[in-house]
Chain A
Amino acid sequence: MVGEEPIKPCPHMKILLSALADDTLTGVMRWFTEQHARGCTRCGSAVVHLRELRTQLRTLNTSSPIAGELRLSEERLTAVEVAWNRIDSNPPAPAIEE
């Protein structure tokens, strides 16, 4: 959950903390950022909150009001069909033809 206090990490660390939170940070930069976050309460807290946010975002497709089945309207489907027919009537370039 989102905490009460505003999250105010060290400004120069924001990009590194964000990358640490999604595990895309490697090597010496990861070591440096982890060390900083261990010693800095605000940055340590920011990483925790960023990881929570990432979990929320990754599960949004199942938790959102738009999580259920969504469909194109009949009108749009008809337009797609017409466009596909038009594409089918134009043969693809010989070089890439099967």
Chain B
Amino acid sequence: MRAMEGIFGRRMRSERERFAEIARMCETALLRVALRLCKGGHDCAQELVQDALVKGYEAFRSGKFREGYSPQAWLTRILTNGFINDYRRKTRWDAGVDVETLTAGGEVGPAQTRAAASDTPDGALVEGIFEEPLERALSALPDGLRVVVLLVDVEELSYAEAAETLKIPVGTVRSRLARARFALQEMLQEYARERRLI
């Protein structure tokens, strides 16, 4: 029997039962967000979700979760914060390329600033993830742009919620989104051209 069932099935205080139920509901969605944050890295994604569930439970017990909030959006924000605050300390942040060094107009930066096959994270990648051109393009975005697109366009948080999560102004969310979307379009076009050439 899976350990998660042990967590959920045991008779415990109602707070723990309630949070375990939330965790069970959100587990897949959180892992999906984490995999994209980690560019398909399995171990990194598992660690991020583990940390989010621990930090989430601490916050839940402290009364920081309000009824009426979307539990998934709330845990996604905790997970994203964890990624920003912890994971980037352990790794090179965008291979030394900061989001602000991208061109102001939103074009994808020079080739050396884009993700290459050798840039994949340590550990196993989830099989097949990069067969989807959009997943591949997302993974090639600089972290600062990818996280905004993930929160707003994929997870459908509002600009305000994304701004609060990332601790940046709403205007910055707006400008990063524009840069990210145009960069994604450019990469998707490039992939499409490559496929036609093969």
Chain B CB within 8 A of A27 CB:
no
In the docked arrangement, what's the CA distance between A24 and B192, Å?
29
Contacting B at CB under 8 A, from A34-88, are 46, 49-50, 53-54, 56-58, 60-61, 63-66, 69-74, 76-81, 83-84, 87-88
User: A11: shortest Cβ distance to chain B, in Å?
Assistant: 4
Q: Is the CB of B62 within 8 A of A72?
A: no
Interface residues in A, total, Cβ within 8 A: 48
User: B24: shortest Cβ distance to chain A, in Å?
Assistant: 10
Q: Is the CB of B61 within 8 A of A92?
A: yes
Q: Is the CB of B57 within 8 A of A64?
A: no
Chain A CB within 8 A of B70 CB:
no
In the docked arrangement, what's the CA distance between A73 and B129, Å?
19
In the docked arrangement, what's the CA distance between A87 and B15, Å?
12
In the docked arrangement, what's the CA distance between A14 and B188, Å?
18
Q: Is the CB of A7 within 8 A of B63?
A: no
Q: Is the CB of A15 within 8 A of B175?
A: yes
In the docked arrangement, what's the CA distance between A3 and B186, Å?
10
**Given A72-B46, A88-B13, A92-B62, CB of A7 within 8 Å of CB of B182:** yes
Q: How many A-B residue pairs have CB under 8 A?
A: 138
**Given A7-B185, A83-B54, A92-B61, CB of A58 within 8 Å of CB of B153:** yes
Give A residues with C-beta under 8 Å from B: 2-4, 6-7, 11, 14-15, 17-19, 21-22, 24, 46, 49-50, 53-54, 56-58, 60-61, 63-66, 69-74, 76-81, 83-84, 87-88, 92-93, 96, 98
Give B residues with C-beta under 8 Å from A: 2-4, 6-7, 12-13, 15-16, 23, 27-29, 31-32, 35, 46-47, 49-50, 53-54, 57-58, 61-63, 104-106, 126-129, 131-132, 134-135, 149, 152-154, 156, 159, 174-175, 177-179, 181-182, 184-186, 188-189, 192
